[in-house]
Amino acid sequence: MKKQLTFYFIRHGRTVWNEQGLMQGHGDSPLTEQGILGAQKAGSALQHIPFVAAYSSVLKRTIDTAEHIIGERNIPLFQHKGLNEQFFGKWEGQWVEPLREQAEFKQMISDPANYKAETNGGETYQQLADRAMKAIQDIIQIHDKGNILVVSHGHTLRLLIALLDGATWQNHRAAGQSVSLLNTAISIVHYDSEKGFTVEKVNDAGHLG
């Protein structure tokens, strides 16, 4: 059977740790008022889209964001741990600014192919790519057609959307391959079982103005 799906990828709303400049990863913090409002604005912008299902990571900030986007609509919401944020090990909960001086942090930002996550005991981009792509394949296995809402995280979605657009985990942070995603920005990717993935829109924040 031919499958045709449209994915609406959204990064979670702004959180307390975002405001405080702390590394989140698998650590979690609640949405701020701005984060809740951003999710509600995304929900308004997507009000006309008939979603057959919604998926988030298992982290509360994405579940809450998804629930604010869905609002009163009768859309089933599922969690998939493959959509979790990249795990940053002992960096989680630490201030980002001092970490920027570390060689391995600089590698994480600009040289994914050689980022080994050795000093923090975290997750490599290859590990992140494998589980995020498996999550999308799992969703495709379940649904044949329709619109799918996916609420995930900054690093995960940046890598995932780049992969769906033809990049590799090794080069996805090179110039022109990907962008840092804004909280509650909307990215749209079409899937056709005969043609593969087509990226329509990335990091659209028009609804947040």
Q: Which residues are annotated as a binding site?
A: 11-18, 61
C-beta separation of 165 from 9 below 8 A: no
Q: Is 26 a catalytic residue?
A: no
Q: Which pairing describes strands 4-11 and 77-79: parallel, antiparallel, or unpaired? A: unpaired
Q: For residues 129 and 200, what is the distance between their CA atoms, to the nearest angstrom?
A: 21
d(CA 30, CA 26): 13
Whether 68 contacts 40, CB under 8 Å: yes
Inter-residue contact 193 to 4 (CB < 8 Å): yes
Binding residues for substrate: 11-18, 61
The token pair at 197 is: 């993935």
> Residue 115 carries which side chain, given as an amino acid letter?
Y
12 labelled catalytic: yes
Q: Which of 26, 80, 85, 172 is catalytic?
A: 85
Measured distance CA(6)–CA(14) in Å, rounded: 25
Residue 188, beta-bridge partner list? 8, 201
- The set of residues, in sequence order, having a beta carbon less than 8 Å from that of 22 and lying 6+ positions away, is 29, 93, 94, 95, 96
- Residues taking part in catalysis: 12, 85
